[in-house]
């Protein structure tokens, strides 16, 4: 045959789960969106429809709910438990990836009430039967600086009309993921590590006098690695949420950096990785 | 002719605007989404394409930006200024409605940096050349109680399978709008009034032992009116974000209110108005 | 008491339903999104949590599925059946509204295969125990003319910068709803009536030399009423999907109406009603 | 230093573009969403904010519009033109990727009117200064079979509750991308090649008696490669849009495969590649 099956994977996407811990008088909630992906000896189901090696995606969903009965804890741990279970219990499954989004809830008045906050904590755990990789992160962290951002000295070609600027609004919706050097939590544990990483991302965004969004990106990754020794790599995706100064001169008005039009599309998209030299290999690509 | 033009209106929707106030060392930002709608003598453009009475939607957009140059302030005031301008300056325009969403930003590290928060403040201002109506509100305020919610004693007919419950998770994404008795701010001003209303909505959601989401809705509206004398009416739209207890018995596990599936669709939708008896008439419908 | 309950309603939103008809060798599918809303003697559940008058939204959902077992047919009929059932069977319910979206599927190769098409057929049925109102419609019908659209002669004030144009791209995503004069289908039946209305909307959009989007709106409504005697009112909501000519002069190029930037926000929003003079009253507002 | 810059890239995302061809009496439109991504010697801007090697994303946008002035043609060609320009004209840029979505418009009444259809044609072109890779595709092609789909014989473990089935509804929203063996169009040209690939995807979906969605996936890829000799690889992502049979037995009704609940989340996600044995290497990963 000259036509063959290449890379393939399958799983259950977006398993929504709320875990309520009622042990203490003040309840605690964990609100997750879990996606599982499995890789293994799956040629038969593709070629002949023989499903004898297929753990149904419905079962993967059930497993997530059943495991949550024993507590979720930190999402990195929950992901590790699930990924290891799928590979270790299923002879046909050789690799598993579990991706978790955790939605933020803040406590409201009283011990049983909560308000949804902004920002999403993420974890992606990969396990191949031997090694495990843990990548923590955040998404939808939208930030803005009203000053301290310049952009000039760039290439000018026949299609360049952009004016140089010494002061602009810089805004982005941060998606960041940081890889741990080990699949075991450091002394501080996953939660404190995550809080620190987010704190340093924010501090670097706010504290960097920026000559380009790329420079801000690098400063954000660098600062996280400098302060979080348990991390070896930071991957950042930063859409440039352009804020255009509105021309008010037709109405006889100046506009000294006060009135802006936040545009939807198109947007710049700056993506990059900052890593510790000599870091161990990243998880296998999917 | 037996075919005629009925009610009609037009405007510019979703004018995005960021206002930066740089007067103080710590900058201040106002991030808005403004929609304008005008009603008036507009038959000609419909019937013959004669646009001599049409203020272009592009001009409405320009007006929003130009007015922002003089400062935005509270969105209720900004809406009033715009609505009055359109009606008072244009002979053909008899009514204007300005609807504003204000996105929440919290201060981050340093005087020029901000992080986007959850929840959106809203204001809808209507002006007819004589009277003005101000309706403030909030959207996307998502809240959840882990206990203190029952639902039983309801009608059972041939299609009823729902079990009665003495303890369920209650969650909703609040959209609330509250009408002011006057188009002038009370002594506290618009901002403090808004903060109070939101605080009382949350307190009533968290503090009401609920026998139905309708009861919670009424309690929320009632509490706002009891504590905010400047308000005369509260309108609430509460989707019931169902959280279904997962059946873990096939896996030999109980589930004492701990593991839930938050469903997307369908969802209950409870909507109602609570108002002060004898309140003045609401704004004209659009 | 000076605080009272005002208008209120409740129901189940977005009940997704696929009906497969297998009677003929070529299967037939009906893919719906149904939302039910009930109004009645519901003060008790708001004021005290007494649910003895509340038909649960879960039961409303069950009713939709159970009724579908006997066939769906045209969505206007399905909505009428449901609305009448809720009011006629429940002493506490005085009005019901059923809103249905039907997604378009085209037949693919073979008798059992389908491809999702663009455009959504809608119906909103209202019943008050006596009279019934049927409003059919369409949403997400996106259309564009490359010429035959002008816009000039409009009001110019201090904030007007828009240039007059004799030739522009005109694009909109039509949401249209048309009310039937009777709750009984005419001789042609609901399906043929719907197809005709859509055909005339499209023909009027394409065939009208437009001096304003308002003129196009009126022409669309007028044409539907002229050709569909069973209809008495057409309501249109037309966002003006602006296509801005890109200025290529910085690159030494002209742009004779060839390269456009389709903008997202803001957008003009033109809404209006065209009706038959002396038409019977519309359904009660919700 | 022990912290270093890793892989990085940047570009302009979602450049919306409408091209109108007015040469013939019947106009022709091309409606695109273009995203550009560049890779090269970009360390300086990250490390020091030196932008002397940075072609601004604003310029990339301008280039897309300027190139469209000379006609767009098939999106594969337009992508090749752009990707080659960026790399060949900019010493600091070593690789470019241009990703294009083309929205479907069907001709409406008359020579200048169009209606938006369902389904999106895609092309991703990669160029490294030497070789070029062209990957064509489609997204949002939603298809459904009412019969001819079974699922049984799968692994059963402690968390498996799924019943085996000999007849189910199978539905998916196809995202498919197929790589050309050469960056030159074959004799048929890009458009005919694309139409054929889509036709064969649909025919395989409709014509395969399916024992698993994986089997359908493989059949779809295999059939495209069998009939399109210019293609060497097909990548498919198939969400399993579950349709659950509604249990009507509480209402005393059977449900012989007629009434279904189409669920939103979670969903199975089946992804795989089918390729010609010995095919040349795929484009570099991004």
| A9 among known catalytic residues | no
Q: Is C104 helix (H, G, I), strand (E, B) or coil?
A: strand
User: Residue B155: its chain C contacts at CB < 8 A?
Assistant: 51-56, 59, 90, 92
Whether residue B286 is predicted with pLDDT greater than 80 in this model: the reply is: no
* pLDDT tens-digit map of A31-78: 999 999 999 999 999 999 999 999 999 999 999 999 999 999 999 999
User: Residue C159: its chain A contacts at CB < 8 A?
Assistant: 251
What's the pLDDT score for residue C134? Answer: 98
Mutation target among C155, C220, C222 for the B interface, most CBs of B within 10 A: C155
Q: Which residues of C are catalytic?
A: 12, 57, 242
Residue among D103, D75, D73, B37 at smallest CA distance from C144:
D103
Whether residue C221 is predicted with pLDDT greater than 70 in this model: the reply is: yes
Residue D108 to residue C143, Cβ atoms within 8 A: yes
User: Residue A161: its chain C contacts at CB < 8 A?
Assistant: 250
Locate B240 and state its tokens. 């019931």
Asked if the C-beta of D66 comes within 8 angstroms of chain C's C-beta atoms, the answer is yes
- DSSP-assigned letter for residue D280: P
What's the pLDDT score for residue A187? Answer: 87
What's the pLDDT score for residue D280? Answer: 86
Please measure the distance between the N-terminal and C-terminal CA atoms of chain B and give it in whole angstroms.
26
What's the pLDDT score for residue B228? Answer: 97
Compute the distance between CA of residue D245 and CA of residue D232 in angstroms, rounded to an integer: 39
Residue among C182, D246, C210, A166 at smallest CA distance from B49:
C210
* pLDDT tens-digit map of C42-81: 999 999 999 999 999 999 999 999 999 999 999 999 999 9
Report the pLDDT averaged over residues A93-105: 98
Locate A244 and state its tokens. 């255009």
Locate B223 and state its tokens. 């509490």
- DSSP-assigned letter for residue D205: H
Locate B96 and state its tokens. 């204007």
Residue among D233, D229, D235, D236 at smallest CA distance from D279:
D233
Asked if the C-beta of B106 comes within 8 angstroms of chain D's C-beta atoms, the answer is no
Q: Contact D178/D200 with Cβ under 8 angstroms?
A: no
Compute the distance between CA of residue C98 and CA of residue C77 in angstroms, rounded to an integer: 11
Residue A16 to residue D275, Cβ atoms within 8 A: no
Report the pLDDT averaged over residues B233-258: 98
Task: Please state whether the predicted TM-score (pTM) of the whole model is above 0.95.
Answer: yes
What's the pLDDT score for residue B1? Answer: 59
Nearest CA in chain B to A144: B114
D221, with CB counted inside 10 A (0-12, 13-18, 19+), is: buried
Nearest CA in chain C to A253: C159
Q: Is D83 helix (H, G, I), strand (E, B) or coil?
A: helix
Locate D76 and state its tokens. 């594969």
Residue among B105, B131, B132 at smallest CA distance from B117:
B105
| D57 among known catalytic residues | yes
Compute the distance between CA of residue C267 and CA of residue C279 in angstroms, rounded to an integer: 32
Asked if the C-beta of A9 comes within 8 angstroms of chain B's C-beta atoms, the answer is no
Q: ipTM value, please give it.
A: 0.97
Among B10, B89, B277, the residue with its CB nearest the CB of C4 is B277
Peptide bond into D154 cis (omega under 30): no
What's the pLDDT score for residue A232? Answer: 97
**Which residue do the tokens 């009034």 mark?**
B193
Report the pLDDT averaged over residues A167-175: 98
Asked if the C-beta of D124 comes within 8 angstroms of chain A's C-beta atoms, the answer is no
Nearest CA in chain D to A1: D277
Please measure the distance between the N-terminal and C-terminal CA atoms of chain C and give it in whole angstroms.
26
User: Residue D147: its chain C contacts at CB < 8 A?
Assistant: 22, 27, 112
**Which residue do the tokens 């019947």 mark?**
D26
Residue C113 Cα distances to D170, D202, D204, angstroms: 10, 9, 11
Does residue C110 come out as left (phi exceeding 0), alpha (psi in the -120 to 50 range) or beta? Answer: left
Residue D20 to residue C258, Cβ atoms within 8 A: yes
Chains that touch B (3 or more CB pairs under 8 A): A, C, D
Residue A73 contacts by C-beta under 8 Å, 6 or more apart in sequence?
Answer: none
Residue A280 contacts by C-beta under 8 Å, 6 or more apart in sequence?
Answer: A181, A232
Locate B196 and state its tokens. 């109070």
Question: DSSP strand E in D128-282: where?
Answer: 132-145, 170-180, 231-240, 243-245, 259-262, 267-276
* pLDDT tens-digit map of C223-274: 999 999 999 999 999 999 999 999 999 999 999 999 999 999 999 999 999 9
Residue among C16, C13, C27, C121 at smallest CA distance from C57:
C13
pLDDT-wise least confident of B36-40, C89-93, C277-281: C277-281
Q: What angle do CA D102, D107, D109 make, to 5 degrees?
A: 155
Q: Could you tell me the sign of the dihedral formed by the alpha carbons of C182, C188, C194, C200, in that order?
A: negative
Portion 162-221 of C in contact with D at CB < 8 A: 169, 202-203, 205-207
Q: Is C125 helix (H, G, I), strand (E, B) or coil?
A: strand
Residue among A231, A224, A192, A188 at smallest CA distance from A205:
A224
Give long-range contacts, CB 8 A cutoff, 24+ apart: B49-53.
B49/C150, B49/C210, B49/C211, B49/C212, B49/C214, B49/C215, B50/C153, B50/C211, B51/C151, B51/C152, B51/C153, B51/C154, B51/C155, B51/C211, B51/C212, B52/C153, B52/C154, B52/C155, B53/B92, B53/C155
What's the pLDDT score for residue B100? Answer: 98
Residue A210 to residue D49, Cβ atoms within 8 A: yes
What's the pLDDT score for residue B15? Answer: 98
Residue B54 to residue C154, Cβ atoms within 8 A: yes
* Catalytic pick among A28, A45, A57, A227: A57
Among D2, D14, D63, the residue with its CB nearest the CB of A266 is D14
User: Residue C147: its chain D contacts at CB < 8 A?
Assistant: 22, 27, 112
CA B86 to chain centre: 23
Residue among B53, B54, B55, B57 at smallest CA distance from B15:
B57
Q: Is C139 helix (H, G, I), strand (E, B) or coil?
A: strand
User: Residue D244: its chain B contacts at CB < 8 A?
Assistant: none
Report the pLDDT averaged over residues A98-106: 98
Asked if the C-beta of D147 comes within 8 angstroms of chain C's C-beta atoms, the answer is yes
Beta bridge mates, B208: none
**Which residue do the tokens 């044409």 mark?**
C223
Q: How far is D77 from chain C (nearest CA, A)?
A: 17
Asked if the C-beta of A159 comes within 8 angstroms of chain C's C-beta atoms, the answer is yes
Q: Contact B170/B273 with Cβ under 8 angstroms?
A: no
Residue C251: HSE in the Cβ half-sphere, 13 Å Cα cutoff: 24
pLDDT in tens, chain D (286 residues): 599 999 999 999 999 999 999 999 999 999 999 999 999 999 999 999 999 999 999 999 999 999 999 999 999 999 999 999 999 999 999 999 999 999 999 999 899 999 999 999 999 999 999 999 999 999 989 999 999 999 999 999 999 999 999 999 999 999 999 999 999 988 899 999 999 999 999 999 999 999 999 999 999 999 999 999 999 999 999 999 999 999 999 999 999 999 999 999 999 999 999 999 999 899 998 7
Whether residue C6 is predicted with pLDDT greater than 70 in this model: the reply is: yes
Asked if the C-beta of C139 comes within 8 angstroms of chain B's C-beta atoms, the answer is no
What's the pLDDT score for residue A109? Answer: 87
Q: Is B48 helix (H, G, I), strand (E, B) or coil?
A: coil
Report the pLDDT averaged over residues A252-258: 98
Residue C191 contacts by C-beta under 8 Å, 6 or more apart in sequence?
Answer: C74
Whole-number mean pLDDT of chain C?
97
Report the pLDDT averaged over residues B124-139: 98
Nearest CA in chain C to A158: C251
pLDDT band at residue C1 using 50, 70 and 90 as cut-offs: low
Among B141, B147, B259, the residue with its CB nearest the CB of A112 is B147
**Which residue do the tokens 């804890």 mark?**
A73
Whether residue C209 is predicted with pLDDT greater than 80 in this model: the reply is: yes
Residue C224 contacts by C-beta under 8 Å, 6 or more apart in sequence?
Answer: C178, C197, C200, C201, C204, C231, C234, C274
Q: Contact D127/D96 with Cβ under 8 angstroms?
A: yes
What's the pLDDT score for residue D185? Answer: 86
Compute the distance between CA of residue B133 and CA of residue B131 in angstroms, rounded to an integer: 7
Residue environment code for C13-28, b if the CB has 16+ CB neighbours within 10 A, otherwise e? bbbbbbbbeeeeeebb
Report the pLDDT averaged over residues A213-222: 98
Percentage of residues of chain C with pLDDT beyond 70: 100
CA B284 to chain centre: 17
Residue B266 to residue C92, Cβ atoms within 8 A: no
Residue environment code for C38-68, b if the CB has 16+ CB neighbours within 10 A, otherwise e? bbbebebbbbebbbebbbbbbbbbbbbbbbb
Mutation target among C218, C274, C278 for the B interface, most CBs of B within 10 A: C218
Residue B159 to residue C63, Cβ atoms within 8 A: yes
Q: Contact D6/A221 with Cβ under 8 angstroms?
A: no
Residue B110 to residue A207, Cβ atoms within 8 A: yes
- Percent helix, strand and coil across chain B, each rounded to 5? 25, 40, 35
Portion 43-62 of C in contact with D at CB < 8 A: 62
Q: Contact D124/D137 with Cβ under 8 angstroms?
A: yes
Whether residue B210 is predicted with pLDDT greater than 70 in this model: the reply is: yes
D167, with CB counted inside 10 A (0-12, 13-18, 19+), is: exposed
Q: What angle do CA D70, D73, D76 make, to 5 degrees?
A: 120
Residue environment code for C184-213, b if the CB has 16+ CB neighbours within 10 A, otherwise e? ebeeeebeebbebbbebbbbbbbbbebbbb
Q: What angle do CA B175, B177, B179 make, to 5 degrees?
A: 175
- DSSP-assigned letter for residue B230: T
C278 C-beta neighbours (distance < 10 Å), count: 8
Q: How far is D110 from chain A (nearest CA, A)?
A: 31
Whether residue A1 is predicted with pLDDT greater than 70 in this model: the reply is: no
B106, with CB counted inside 10 A (0-12, 13-18, 19+), is: exposed
């Amino acid at each position: 045959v000259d036509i063959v099956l290449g890379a393939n994977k399958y799983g259950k996407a977006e398993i929504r789960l709320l875990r309520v811990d009622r042990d203490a008088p003040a309840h605690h909630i964990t609100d997750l969106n879990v996606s599982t992906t499995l890789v293994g000896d799956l040629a038969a189901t593709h070629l002949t429809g023989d499903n004898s090696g297929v753990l149904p995606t419905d079962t993967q969903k059930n497993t997530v709910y059943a495991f949550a009965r024993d507590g979720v804890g930190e999402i990195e741990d929950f992901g590790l438990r699930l990924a290891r279970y799928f590979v270790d219990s299923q002879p046909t499954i050789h690799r598993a990836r579990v991706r978790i989004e955790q939605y933020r809830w803040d406590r409201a008045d009283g011990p049983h009430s909560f308000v949804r906050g902004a920002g999403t904590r993420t974890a992606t755990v990969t396990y191949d039967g031997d090694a495990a990789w843990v990548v923590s992160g955040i998404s939808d962290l939208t930030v803005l600086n009203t000053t301290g951002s310049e952009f000039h000295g760039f290439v000018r070609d026949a299609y360049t009309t952009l004016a140089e600027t010494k002061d602009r609004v810089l805004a982005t919706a941060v998606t960041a993921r940081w890889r741990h050097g080990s699949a075991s939590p450091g002394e501080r544990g996953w939660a404190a590590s995550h809080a620190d990483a987010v704190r340093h991302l924010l501090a670097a965004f706010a504290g960097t006098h920026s000559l380009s969004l790329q420079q801000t990106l690098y400063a954000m990754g660098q600062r996280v690695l400098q302060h979080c020794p348990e991390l070896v790599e930071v991957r950042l995706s930063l859409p440039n949420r352009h804020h255009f100064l509105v021309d008010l001169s037709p109405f006889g008005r100046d506009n000294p950096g006060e009135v802006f039009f936040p545009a939807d599309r198109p947007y710049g998209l700056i993506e990059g990785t900052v890593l510790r030299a000599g870091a161990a290999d990243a998880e296998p690509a999917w």
